[in-house]
Amino acid sequence: MWSYRHQSFTVHQLAVLRDNYIYLIEAHKSDTLIVVDPAVAVDVKIACKTLGKKLTHVFNTHHHWDHTDGNLSLKQAFDCLIVGAQHDAKRIPGIDIKVNEQQPPDIAGLNIQVIDVPGHTLGHIAFVLDDALFCGDTLFGGGCGRLFEGTPAQMLHSLDQLAALDGNSKIYCAHEYTLANLAFAQTIDPDNNALNKRIQNDQARRQQQQPTIPSSMAVELATNPMLRPLHNDFCLAYAKRNQLEKHDALTVFSDIRLKKDHW
Contact residues: Zn ion, CB under 5 A: 64, 137
Cβ distance to Zn ion smaller for residue 48 or 141: 141
Q: Which is nearer to Zn ion, 116 or 137 (CB)?
A: 137
Residue 140 CB, shortest distance to Zn ion, in Å, is 11
Candidates 5, 10, 15, 4; CA nearest to 209 is 15
Helix 71-78 and helix 42-51, axial crossing angle in degrees, nearest 10: 40
Cα-based distances in Å from 103 to 99, 107, 116, 127: 5, 12, 11, 12
Closest CB to Zn ion among residues 62, 75: 62
- Sign, CA dihedral 156-69-21-48, equals positive
Minimum CB separation from Zn ion for residue 148, in Å? Answer: 7
Residue with Cβ nearer Zn ion (69 or 131): 69
Helix, strand, coil abundance in the chain, percent, nearest 5: 40, 25, 40
Smaller CB distance to Zn ion: residue 56 or 143? 143
For the CB of residue 260, give the shortest distance to Zn ion in the complex, in Å: 15
Shortest approach of Zn ion to residue 116 CB, angstroms?
A: 16
The distance of closest approach from Cβ of residue 66 to Zn ion in the complex, given in angstroms and rounded to an integer, is 7
In angstroms, give the least distance from the CB of 225 to Zn ion.
Answer: 20
As a whole number of angstroms, the distance between CA 248 and CA 221 comes to 17
Alpha carbon distance 186, 192 (integer Å):
8
Nearest CB to Zn ion, comparing residues 12 and 64: 64
| 185: Cβ contacts below 8 Å, ≥ 6 apart | 142, 143, 192, 195, 223, 224, 225
CB within 8 A of 45, min separation 6: which ones? 74, 77
User: Which contiguous run of DSSP H or E holds residue 180?
Assistant: helix 178-188
The distance of closest approach from Cβ of residue 32 to Zn ion in the complex, given in angstroms and rounded to an integer, is: 26
Of 33 and 117, which has the nearer Cβ to Zn ion?
Answer: 117
- Please report which helix (H) or strand (E) contains residue 78, including its range: helix 71-78
Question: What 3-state class would DSSP assign to 46?
Answer: helix
